[in-house]
């Protein structure tokens, strides 16, 4: 009994924490079978971690990280190392699952360009150009019906986000089928005239917690700031699992 307990503790000590990071910022953690936010009082750590680099549709590779630190000027918990090294989504848990195919959509997909066009019209932006930056068709929750995740934007280069012309927008959209009818769920919309224009993206789709339902990571970066969230579509319900932001 004692031996078994010691062994359990030993294994616990050796297994690293399952942090999710986006653009170097810790977004949340999978702990005791649930998603938890990063506690403000979490201390920095020099414990090495092996992190999966998540591309939108696959776990590309794993990489060693020398722990994380707590930002001072900009509060948040950040992966140690060069920021450029941690651009994108990284995951410290077990290798993610990909239980169903994730099919990238062609950027000239006519029906989806029409959907974007309709949404822009409904927002009185009928002059803005419908443009797909990225899109994925995937059965997120495994109910046998496919959903579509779309990122539409006029912004072709995030580095030039403040120099672009009028009529710019960014849209993150989840399109689901309900009783045979398509429904658009707007995840985020940013446009000209707002105080902050955000650079949006769909960073990763993966089953991180191993329950057979996909999670997806969305990010929204603004001038001198960043934010990201982990979401899930399951049984007709959209849930935000964890999120975090850091910036000036
Ligand atoms: Ca589905
Ligand atoms: Ca999952």
- By CB neighbour count within 10 A (0-12 exposed, 13-18 middle, 19+ buried), where does 170 fall? buried
CA 246 to centroid of ligand 1, rounded, Å: 32
**pLDDT at site 1:** 45
Say if residues 31 and 18 touch (Cβ distance below 8 Å).
Answer: yes
SS3 letters across 20-86: EEECCEEEEEEECCEEECCCCCCCCECCCEEEEEECCCCEEEEEEECCEEEECCCCEEEECCCHHHH
CA 214 to centroid of ligand 2, rounded, Å: 5
User: 137-148, pLDDT tens digit by residue?
Assistant: 999 999 999 999
From residue 154, how far is each of 143, 197, 200 by CA, in Å? Answer: 33, 12, 11
CA 145 to centroid of ligand 1, rounded, Å: 4
CA 142 to centroid of ligand 1, rounded, Å: 5
**Which ligand does the CA of 100 lie closest to?**
1
CA distance 182 to 180: 7
**pLDDT at site 163:** 62
CA distance 199 to 121: 21
CA distance 29 to 176: 27
Q: H/E element holding 243? A: strand 237-247
Q: H/E element holding 178? A: strand 169-178
Q: What is the mean pLDDT of each run of 10 residues along the chain (248 residues)?
A: 50 76 98 97 97 96 96 94 95 97 97 97 93 98 98 81 73 95 96 77 98 97 90 97 93
CA distance 180 to 161: 38
Q: ∠ CA(32), CA(75), CA(199), 5° rounding?
A: 90
CA 96 to centroid of ligand 2, rounded, Å: 9
**pLDDT at site 15:** 79
CA distance 131 to 138: 20
CA 55 to centroid of ligand 1, rounded, Å: 21
Q: ∠ CA(17), CA(32), CA(208), 5° rounding?
A: 65
CA 88 to centroid of ligand 1, rounded, Å: 26
**pLDDT at site 12:** 47
**pLDDT at site 30:** 98
CA 148 to centroid of ligand 1, rounded, Å: 9
Round to the nearest angstrom and report the end-to-end CA distance of the chain. Answer: 52
CA distance 127 to 105: 24
One DSSP character per residue, 72-138 reads: TTTTEEEESS-GGGG-SEEE-SSPPB--S--EEPPTT-HHHHHHHHHHHHHTT-TTSPP-EEEEEEE
CA 214 to centroid of ligand 1, rounded, Å: 10
**Which ligand does the CA of 237 lie closest to?**
1
Q: What is the pTM of this model?
A: 0.91
């Amino acid at each position: 009994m004692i031996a078994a307990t010691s062994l359990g503790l030993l294994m616990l000590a050796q297994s690293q924490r399952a942090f999710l990071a986006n653009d170097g910022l810790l977004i949340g953690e999978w702990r005791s079978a649930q998603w938890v936010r990063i506690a403000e009082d979490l201390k920095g750590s020099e414990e090495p971690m092996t992190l999966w680099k998540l591309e939108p549709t696959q776990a590309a590779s794993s990489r060693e990280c020398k722990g994380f630190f707590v930002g001072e000027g900009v509060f948040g918990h950040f992966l140690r190392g060069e920021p450029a090294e941690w651009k994108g989504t990284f995951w410290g848990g077990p290798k993610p699952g990909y239980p169903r195919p994730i099919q990238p959509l062609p950027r000239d997909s006519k029906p989806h360009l029409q959907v974007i066009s309709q949404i822009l019209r409904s927002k009185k932006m009928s002059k803005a150009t419908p443009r797909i930056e990225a899109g994925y068709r995937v059965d997120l929750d495994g109910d046998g019906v496919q959903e579509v995740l779309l990122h539409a934007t006029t912004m072709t280069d995030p580095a030039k986000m403040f120099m672009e012309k009028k009529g710019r927008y960014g849209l993150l959209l989840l399109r689901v089928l309900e009783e045979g009818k398509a429904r658009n769920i707007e995840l985020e919309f940013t446009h000209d005239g707002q105080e902050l224009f955000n650079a949006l993206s769909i960073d990763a789709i993966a089953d991180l917690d191993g329950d057979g339902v996909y999670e997806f990571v969305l990010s929204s970066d603004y001038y001198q700031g960043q934010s990201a969230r982990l979401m899930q579509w399951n049984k007709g319900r959209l849930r935000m699992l964890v999120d975090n932001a850091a910036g000036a």
